[in-house]
Amino acid sequence: MKMPKRLIASLGVLMLSATPLLHVSADQRDDHDHGGPQQGHYDNHDNDHRDGHDNRRGGPPPRDFGPVRQTIHDHHDYFVRGAPPPPGIHLERGRPLPRGYYGERLDNRALSRLPYYPGYEWRRAGGDVVLIAVGSGIVYEVLQGVLY
């Protein structure tokens, strides 16, 4: 059976768009892989060993974001509330960002207070801070109501 050209082209585009989702182990990354133009690499001297992980070099996100919530609370003057998401937009953990909505980037002062996780990016949406997977746009965690 002959495959239509559109189907073949679509499969090619799908394969190319899935390439960023491939993971490289943290051992194989070097320092210039941390951040990139979207987020940048930032030092995190206040949170270096709070949860037993040295997040200056990165690592996987934790399951407990209590220390991150406390950091935001302790340094609330570094964090500015963002514009609320448009009506009908709801961010859920484990789900992709809604089409066309990306939240707002945090400024470098705020980012310097948060731990760095390779492949993830902090965003704000109204009074919430959101951690998203950069390659897929999947919401890893929503810290609801931490910005006031």
- Residue-wise pLDDT tens digits, 103-128: 999 999 999 999 999 999 999 999 99
Per-residue pLDDT, 57: 54
- pLDDT band of 15, cuts 50, 70, 90: low
Rounded to an integer, what is the distance from CA 72 to the centroid of its chain?
Answer: 16
- pLDDT band of 148, cuts 50, 70, 90: confident
The answer to whether the pTM exceeds 0.85 is: no
- pLDDT band of 6, cuts 50, 70, 90: confident
74/60: higher pLDDT: 74
41/92: higher pLDDT: 92
Q: Is 81 within 8 Å of 127 (Cβ atoms)?
A: yes
In the chain the domains, ranked by start, together with CATH numbers, are 5-143 (3.10.450.160)
Q: Within 10 A of 101 (CB to CB), how many other CB atoms are there?
A: 14
